[in-house]
Amino acid sequence: MKSKFRLTISRQFHQLIQAGPSLILILGIAFVLRIIASVLVQVVASRRGTVCLFGDTPIYWEYAKTIASFSTYVVYQWDVPHYALRTPGYPLWLAGWMVTFGEWAFPIRIGQSILSLFGVLWLYQLAKELGFSETSARWSAAFLAFDPFQIISVPLLLTESIFTPILVIFMLYWVRIIKSYQKPLDRHAGFLIVFGIIQGLLSLIRPAWWPFLLVIYASFVVWGLIDRQFHYKSLLRNILLLQLGWSIIMAPWVIRNQLVIGQPAIGGTWGGASLYDGVQPSATGSSDMSFVASPEFRDLSETDQDNLWKSLSYREIVKNPVRIARLSVVKQLRFWSAWPNDSAKVPVVVKAICGLIVWPVWGLMCCGLWKNRKNRLVYLVVLPLIFTALLHLLFVGSSRYRMAVILPSMVLTGEGMVVVWSMFRRETQFS
């Protein structure tokens, strides 16, 4: 009797692994977990008497209030107006909720939970678009649904809360475009324009993303060369359509900045401060923005500040290249850290738990990449991660920046699960 019961359980377990969990069940559990996280974050924030738990949020919140009240998009630092300190992507999201619910953060957290749920669904669709099996697609969605780092980040009022799920659908469109690269224009022109719009939205949410346009252009060139069907007219057409979609989103912001502050400021006027934070003489690889409050900087206009910090950064890079190179190594160690930074303040137990979560996922991703090493489309999903890692050779390093762009790569976890399960079955059959 016991042996039959064990055999039944074993068969059910095998069927579960082989078929993958139900997609509806995955989405349901993902939603519940994110709602619970939203409630917990709201309770903690309320007890602290604030809407935010991180230093970046107040700036976005203040900008959002100006949009919701249809007033000038501006924040003040030491009585100096800043009209383009941060791009308006995330403030627009916050303002949309403010118009309906007022300055109550909880509905925003719920909205971000719903968007994150779509991110899980889009990851499943991305897996299918890459040619992965139903089992693999479901397991990828399941890993994202249960990822504690993503669950915790969803209710936080930070740009990555909406950036990460949109990045997945961005990747979905990119794969579709590359797959239809040599098809007639009328079959994928719409894809290219929408793709450009999504790229524009991502650029407006996280300004460091807009240079990724160059990576997209390069992918068009490389794909044409690989397929030995490279045509300049086709490349130009694709770039123009993509640029059209991107400009629909970004042009109003760029034109407004030119009129208001005298320069386009595509990524806002915080880029100089971010760069100087990473290379300043006292830089350690982590963030220390205390220099912003220095009298020699704080009373300048936002454009003068930005230009000065960029100038000082370039001078420091040229003057001390060896130190900058050493800092880059430290930044990469922080970027790829399995646990939150600053690691000196993280208890050993927390580090162990994070390692037990992160390292197996990375192992599955590597297995999935190796399994699909001949599938050229798969290499697209790791480009956001590589691009961001390269950016943080100069900018400060933090595992937070990695977690904001790792979602497309997580599509490989399902493939890794298939590989590991196949190996396990072979071992058990021979033993």
Condensed to tens digits (0 to 9), the pLDDT of residues 157-206 reads: 999 999 999 999 999 999 998 888 656 555 578 889 999 999 999 999 99
Please give the model's pTM, rounded to 2 decimal places.
Answer: 0.92
Phi, psi (rounded to 5 degrees) for 277: -60, -35
d(CA 415, CA 407) in angstroms, rounded, equals: 15
d(CA 397, CA 327) in angstroms, rounded, equals: 9
- Please choose, from the candidates 122, 115, 201, the residue with its C-alpha nearest in 3D space to the C-alpha of residue 161: 115
Cis bond before residue 342 (omega within 30° of 0): yes
- Give the list of residues 6+ apart from residue 27 with CB closer than 8 angstroms, or none: 117, 120, 121, 141, 145
Condensed to tens digits (0 to 9), the pLDDT of residues 328-360 reads: 999 999 999 998 886 557 788 888 899 999 999
The angle subtended at Cα 335 by Cα 330 and Cα 338, nearest 5°, is: 110
Q: Residue-wise over 42-75: b if at least 16 C-beta within 10 A, else e? A: beebeeeeebbeeeebebbbbbbbbbbeeeebeb
Condensed to tens digits (0 to 9), the pLDDT of residues 238-261 reads: 899 999 999 999 999 999 999 999
Domain range list for the chain: 2-278+298-430
Q: What is the dihedral of CA 220, 224, 225, 230, to 10 degrees?
A: -120
Condensed to tens digits (0 to 9), the pLDDT of residues 16-47 reads: 455 567 999 999 999 999 999 999 999 999 99
d(CA 136, CA 211) in angstroms, rounded, equals: 32
d(CA 62, CA 67) in angstroms, rounded, equals: 9
Distance between start and end Cα atoms, the chain: 24
Predicted confidence at residue 12, as pLDDT, reads 42
